[in-house]
Amino acid sequence: MLLTQLEYFVAVAREQHFGRAAAACHVSPSGLSEAIRKLEVELRVPLVRRGRAFEGLTPEGDLVLLWARRMLADHRHLRDELDLARAELSTTLRLGVIPSAVPHAADLVTELIDAHPLLRVEIRTGLATEQILAGLRAYDLDAGLVHPVDATDLALTPLSRDRLVAVGLPERFEGVGTISGTDLAELPLALLSPTMQARRDLDAAFADHGLRLTPRVEADSVEALVDLGRAGRWVAVVPALEARARPGLRVAVLEAPRVEITVALARLAEGPRSPVAAAVVTAAAGTTGRRRLRRSAGDPAPGPRTRTGQQQSDRGCG
C-alpha cells in the first residue's frame, strides 16, 4: 500500500469526480483510476462504485476513507515533527475561520509567522462552525476559529467575547450611541446567513424579547455586511471588532437585547498534539494577551489584515 494510493482515493472521495481528483493530484485520470484499482486489489474489497462516472463509495470504501485520512494526517505530522527537530517548521497550516473571527485570524497568522517564518498558512473563510468541525474530523483542516460547541473529540481554547453592533451611515444613527432591538427591527437590515451561529444567536436573543428580525439582505461574510452598511441603504449587524476603525460608518451598540458572541480555537483532541497544532495554541495565547493589552490601552484597532485563501479550490491531493 502506497501513500499516493491513499491520497488519490481521498481526493476522489472529496471531489466526487475522477477527473477533478486527477487534476487536484496532478496526474492523469487513467493513472489515478489504476492506482485506486491496485489499492482495491491489495485490500481485496471494492472501494468505489463505478458506472459511467463516479457513483459514490462502497460501505468498505467509507471505512477505508476514515483510516486513509488518519494515516495521511499521521504521515504529515511525522514530517512536521522532523521539521521541528531541525527548528524549521515549514508545513502548511489549514485554518478554517467563521466570518466573525476574521480579525482574530489576522492576529493569529501574524503571531505564527513571527514564531515560524517558514510556515505557510491557508485560510478558508465564509465557513459555518459545523463546516469547520467537519473539516477537522476529516483531517482536511488543522485548526479552526469557531463558536464554542460541546464535543468530546475537540479541544477548544476560548479567544474572546465580542458584542454585536449595528453599523450604517451617520444619518442612520444621528446622535445615537445605542439602539434597541425594537428600533433595529424597523430598519432595512443586512444580516449574516441563517446557517451562521452568530445569526442564530441573534435570532434567539430577539425571540426571547418577543421580536423578530426580517433582513432584506443576507451574506456569509462580515466584510460584505460592512460594505452594505457603508452603501447607505442598509443597516448591518456585525461584531464590534469588525465595526471599529471603519471610516464613514457610525456604530450603534445593540441593547435590549444585548448579544455577545464567543470565538474559540478548535482542534482535534485525540492523540498526541501535532507540531502545527501546538504552534497554533501557543500563538493563540499570544494574540489573546496582546488583545487584552490593546483594550486596556484603549486601542480599538482590530489588528493586521491578511489575505484569505479559497474555501474549496486549490486544495491539492489527499
Residues 111-143 pLDDT 10s: 999 988 988 999 999 899 999 999 998 888 999
Residues of the chain with CATH 1.10.10.10: 3-76
Question: 297 or 9: whose pLDDT is higher?
Answer: 9
- Closest-CA residue to 213 (of 250, 188, 239): 188
The band of 279, judged by pLDDT with boundaries at 50, 70 and 90, is: confident
Outline which parts of the chain fall under CATH 3.40.190.290: 161-261
Q: pLDDT tens digits for 174-202? A: 667 889 999 999 999 999 999 898 999 99
Report, as an integer, the average pLDDT of 285-290: 69
| CA distances, 245 to each of 163, 210, 226, 259 (Å) | 16, 33, 12, 21
Mean pLDDT of all residues in 19-33 = 91
Phi, psi of 264 (to 5 degrees): -135, 155
Cell of 185: 427591527
Superfamily of domain 79-160+265-296: Periplasmic binding protein-like II (3.40.190.10)
d(CA 34, CA 192): 45
Please give the CATH architecture assigned to the domain spanning 161-261.
3-Layer(aba) Sandwich (3.40)
The pLDDT score that the predictor gives to residue 177 is 85
One-letter amino acid of 37: R
pLDDT, the chain, mean: 84
Say what the pLDDT of residue 84 is: 64
Question: Given this model, what pLDDT does residue 87 score?
Answer: 67
Task: Determine the straight-line distance between the first and last CA of the chain, rounded to whole angstroms.
Answer: 15
pLDDT at 27 over 90: yes
Contact 169, 286 (CB under 8 A): no
Model pLDDT, residue 66: 86
Give the other-Cβ count within 10 Å of 293's Cβ. Answer: 10
Mean pLDDT computed over 8-33: 90
d(CA 275, CA 280): 9
pLDDT of 20 strictly over 70: yes
Peptide bond into 194 cis (omega under 30): no
Task: Answer whether 139's CB lies under 8 Å from 277's CB.
Answer: no
The mean-pLDDT minimum among 202-206, 243-247, 249-253, 306-310 falls in 306-310
Q: What proportion of the chain, given as a percentage, has pLDDT over 90?
A: 42
Q: What is the pLDDT of residue 199?
A: 94
Give the burial string for 242-258 (b: 16+ CB within 10 Å, else e).
Answer: bbbebeebbbbebeebe
pTM confidence score: 0.68
- Set of cell numbers at residue 277: 497544532
Q: How far apart are CA 38 and CA 105, in angstroms?
A: 42
Distance CA 51, CA 230 (A): 51
Instruction: Give the model's pLDDT for residue 74.
Output: 79
pLDDT at 236: 95
For residue 96 the three cell numbers come to 478554517
pLDDT digits (tens, 9 = 90+) for 246-272: 777 889 999 999 999 999 999 988 766
Asked if 156 and 266 touch (Cβ cutoff 8 Å), the reply is: yes
In this prediction, residue 303 carries a pLDDT of 37
10 Å Cβ neighbour count for 206? 19
Banded model confidence at residue 36, pLDDT cuts 50, 70, 90: very high
Nearest by Cα to 168 from 188, 197, 193: 188
Which amino acid is located at 217 in the chain? V
pLDDT at 170: 83
- In the chain, CATH 3.40.190.10 covers 79-160+265-296
Instruction: Give residue 316's pLDDT band: very low, low, confident or very high (50, 70, 90).
Output: low
The CATH number corresponding to 3-76 among 1.10.20.10, 1.10.10.10, 3.90.1300.10, 1.10.150.120 equals 1.10.10.10
* Residue predicted with more confidence, 209 or 70: 209
pLDDT digits (tens, 9 = 90+) for 62-116: 999 888 888 888 777 677 666 665 667 778 899 999 988 988 898 999 999 998 8
Whole-angstrom Cα distance, residue 241 to residue 138?
Answer: 31
Residues contacting residue 177 through CB under 8 Å, at least 6 positions apart: 252, 253
pLDDT attached to residue 314: 46
CA distances from 124 to 99, 128, 167, 311 (A): 10, 11, 25, 5
Strand partners, 93: 121
